[in-house]
Structure 1
């Protein structure tokens, strides 16, 4: 199992809406992530900078590799109004290098 971390950017003032949408994550999206091998997935918010920091374990694909699926494209469109996005509505996502891990 591999760990993967990345950061994204939330538009200021949308913290509560971001949390609400993830509290109500679509069951079919959660199922797709699990079937793709994504587990132990957490997203943290730096409230000073509106930076989102995500960490997930993967035994298969990263959630970032599922962008060709209809449900992920629909989710991206749903989230595009509150996040910094690319032209295809995918969130601007920057992979982070692991520099320390204490098991």
Structure 2
């Protein structure tokens, strides 16, 4: 099982909206994440917009590719994309760059 952690930056003027949207994630989006292998997925948001994501999956690249193929993900990313800083034209899920794990205490 791969443990994946990544960082993104939510625009300061969109933080409250981002929180509201994630308090009620679409059921079909939640199902797509589950069906494509995203498990134990959490997002943590600091007051300045720093977003830390964590998930567990058997194969991150396969899970990400499967989500990219899901129609619901295209709609979700189109709505969420404007809430982020520094994506350089990429969708938020494409801008995820996993951090290198340097320690783990099971």
Q: Same fold (TM over 0.5)?
A: yes
- Partner Cα separation in structure 2 for residue 16 and residue 4 of structure 1: 25
Give the drift of 1:97.
Answer: 0.7
Scaled by the length of structure 2, what TM-score is found? 0.82
User: Aligned residues, how many?
Assistant: 101
Q: 2:83 is matched with which residue?
A: 82
Give the drift of 1:79.
Answer: 0.8
Give the drift of 1:42.
Answer: 0.7
CA RMSD of aligned residues (A): 1.8
Query: Which structure is higher in strand share?
Result: 1
Tell me, which stretches of 5 or more residues in structure 2 are unaligned? Answer: none
- Partner Cα separation in structure 2 for residue 38 and residue 76 of structure 1: 16
Tell me, which stretches of 5 or more residues in structure 1 are unaligned? Answer: none
1:97 matches 2:96? no
- Partner Cα separation in structure 2 for residue 17 and residue 101 of structure 1: 33
Query: Which structure is higher in helix share?
Result: 2
